[in-house]
């Protein structure tokens, strides 16, 4: 009889201890897509998330969300992490691509310019336009008008551009008018350099 009682007691204790430890991790679920695009420098509106635990129930309020740098272009990961009362951790991630809207004109262009205009000769060259990693709509012409040492900054504004004046070899380059056409695959730039007019035309390479 004593052996039976001891056996029942041991089995009861085993049952108590085996049922007392919750090792099931909570589940975190995303609202919206797991991969999204976001415009550089713009406010990020969180699509939403939810978290549930088999013992604690709804623990959405306990979710810790990592930061997104809206002022830096490129792919970033937002982590959503939650821990239940037993210390079990649940986690999920969302990939966000922060992009500069001026990416539409990023890349290589075939260029030709006449300087001074209209009496000068037509000169062809290759241009590369890069986008800013920190300021939306800002771009850089890596060698404006075949000036290999020049990096001319500009801001894309609808179908035109605003340029900063720069000095090349002691001479001031100032853009007076810019037109983007053919679905932003052609850029016509009128400028003055060292007091003389010039015209530069760029066509996007496919």
**Mean of the per-residue pLDDT values for the chain?**
90
CATH of the domain at 52: 2.60.40.10
20 — pLDDT class (breaks 50, 70, 90): low
19 — pLDDT class (breaks 50, 70, 90): low
Residue 60 and residue 153 in one domain:
no
Across residues 8-27, what is the average pLDDT? 64
Residue 82's domain spans which residues?
Answer: 23-99
pLDDT beyond 70 at 15: no
Q: Number of helices (H) and strands (E) in the chain: give both, helices first.
A: 1, 16
pLDDT given at position 6: 45
CA distances to 9, 14, 26 from 2, rounded to whole Å, are 11, 18, 43
Across residues 54-75, what is the average pLDDT? 98
CATH of the domain at 160: 2.40.128.120
| pLDDT tens-place string over residues 116-166 | 999 999 999 999 999 999 999 999 999 888 877 778 999 999 999 999 888
Residue 53 and residue 89 in one domain:
yes
- Residue 2, in any domain of the structure: no
Pick the last residue of a domain from 83, 99, 115: 99
Quote the number of domains for the chain.
2
Residue 122 and residue 181 in one domain:
yes
Give the percent of the chain with pLDDT over 70.
90
- Residue 8, in any domain of the structure: no
Residue 57 and residue 129 in one domain:
no
Q: In sequence order, what are the beta bridge partners of 29?
A: 50
Q: What is the model's pTM?
A: 0.82
Written as one string, the DSSP assignment of 60-90 is GGG-EE----TTS-EEEEEEEEEE-TT--EE
- Residue 108, in any domain of the structure: yes
CA 179 to chain centre: 27
| pLDDT tens-place string over residues 165-202 | 888 888 888 999 999 999 999 999 999 999 999 999 99
184 CB neighbour count, 10 Å cutoff: 14
């Amino acid at each position: 009889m004593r052996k039976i009682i001891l056996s029942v007691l041991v089995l009861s204790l085993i049952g108590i201890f085996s049922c007392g430890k919750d090792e099931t991790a909570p589940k975190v679920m995303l609202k919206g897509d797991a991969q999204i695009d976001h415009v550089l420098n713009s406010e990020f509106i969180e699509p939403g998330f939810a978290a549930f635990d088999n013992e604690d129930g709804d623990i959405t309020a306990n979710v810790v969300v990592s930061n997104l740098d809206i002022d830096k272009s490129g792919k970033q990961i937002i982590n959503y992490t939650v821990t239940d009362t037993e210390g079990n951790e649940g986690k999920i991630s969302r990939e966000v691509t922060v992009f500069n809207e001026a990416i539409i004109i990023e890349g290589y262009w075939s260029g030709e310019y006449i300087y001074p205009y209209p009496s000068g000769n037509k000169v062809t060259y290759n241009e590369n336009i890069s986008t800013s990693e920190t300021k939306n709509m800002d771009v850089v012409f890596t060698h404006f008008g075949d000036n290999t040492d020049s990096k001319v900054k500009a801001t894309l504004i609808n179908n035109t551009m605003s340029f900063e004046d720069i000095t090349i070899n002691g001479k001031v380059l100032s853009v007076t008018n810019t037109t983007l056409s053919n679905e932003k695959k052609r850029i016509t730039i009128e400028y003055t350099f060292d007091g003389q007019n010039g015209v530069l035309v760029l066509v996007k390479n496919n």
